[in-house]
Amino acid sequence: MADFLGNNTIFNPNNSAYRRGHSTTTTMLAIRDDILRAMKRGEVTIAVLADFSKAFDTVAYQIVLSKLHRLGFSNTSLKWLISYLTDRKQYVQVDDRSSERVGVTFGVPQGSILGPVKFIRQ
């Protein structure tokens, strides 16, 4: 999925997260270069930094699937993603005690290889 998005220049070129060959270092260097260029042109520069707490928990996967469909992902790929994202359940376990299982209707699984890509495209 990341290769498809990258090869078809669908990723925002300013986004370095979860992309091969990109890092926080490359992002900071790009920001620094942009600021220096703006200063040389006499432009005012303002930086706004944001931390999206619980970002993976907020992804509406129905919206992501719709966008991926419009981007040209095959029906087979979309069906696989639907099966991966829907009908998920979660529970909390501490020692030998477990909570009741509840359905998950939002978010993408953290720690999965697809989670960051789906978050970036939202």
Q: Which tens digits make up the pLDDT trace of 48-64?
A: 777 666 666 667 777 87
Q: Which tens digits make up the pLDDT trace of 76-103?
A: 988 888 888 788 888 899 999 999 999 8
Structural domain count, the chain: 2
Same domain? 83 vs 59: yes
The range of the structural domain enclosing residue 13 comes to 1-49
Q: What is the 3-state secondary structure (H, E, C) of the chain?
A: CHHHHHHCCCCCCCCCCCCCCCCHHHHHHHHHHHHHHHHHCCCCCCCCCCCCCCHHHHCCHHHHHHHHHHCCCCHHHHHHHHHHHCCEEECCEECCEECCCEEECCCCCCCCCCHHHHHHHC
Same domain? 62 vs 111: yes
